Amino acid sequence: MECGRAGGNPEPADADTAPSWPLADRPGFLARRVHQIHVGLFSERCAAFRITPLQYSLLSELVERGEADQTTLAHAVALDRTTTTGALKRLEARALVSRTTSTADRRAQACRPTQAGRDLHATMAVAARDAHAATVAALAPDERETLVRLMKKLTTAHAGCRDVADPQV
């Protein structure tokens, strides 16, 4: 499936005949704004931990799995391997993650959370959850569930698409 063509979407309208489309009505713009809002809320609530949302996602995935190679982690957090490797190196520099050559495949790096990484993850869990809750606080509980369900539907439909870079690593 071509990235951006999930579900047999119609061809884009001709620019000369398309009606006006205000920026505030565009899904991509709104998705980026929600992301910016969440990163800001996460940064506020988790500043003391000196960890980005992406690093927290990687650490969360490692705490849950116990061990994973960098390719698996890149896929789990929907990023390219290079960006993922950079974030993992920063976590390793803080002794939150260990990376060793995989015994199964010498080309792969096996990643594990260190005890310090598990401790930090547990310590910041409440603040991170608070950031997620604050992101959707303006919605009623049933609207939050609907939003998450719809976002999951979109991300599943576009599973072949990956970010090429994220300045929040």
> Does residue 47 belong to any structural domain of this protein?
yes
Q: For 131-150, write each residue's pLDDT tens digit.
A: 999 999 999 999 999 999 99
pTM of the model: 0.81
> Does residue 19 belong to any structural domain of this protein?
no
> Does residue 15 belong to any structural domain of this protein?
no
> Does residue 57 belong to any structural domain of this protein?
yes
> Does residue 142 belong to any structural domain of this protein?
yes
Q: Write out the DSSP string of 92-144.
A: HHTTSEEEEE-SS-TTSEEEEE-HHHHHHHHHHHHHHHHHHHHHTTTS-HHHH
Q: For 85-136, write each residue's pLDDT tens digit.
A: 999 999 999 999 999 987 887 888 899 999 999 999 999 999 999 999 999 9
Q: How many structural domains compose the chain?
A: 1
Beta strand 68-69 pairing with 109-113: antiparallel
Domain span holding position 130? 31-157
Distance of alpha carbon 54 from alpha carbon 123, whole angstroms: 17
CATH number (domain holding residue 63): 1.10.10.10
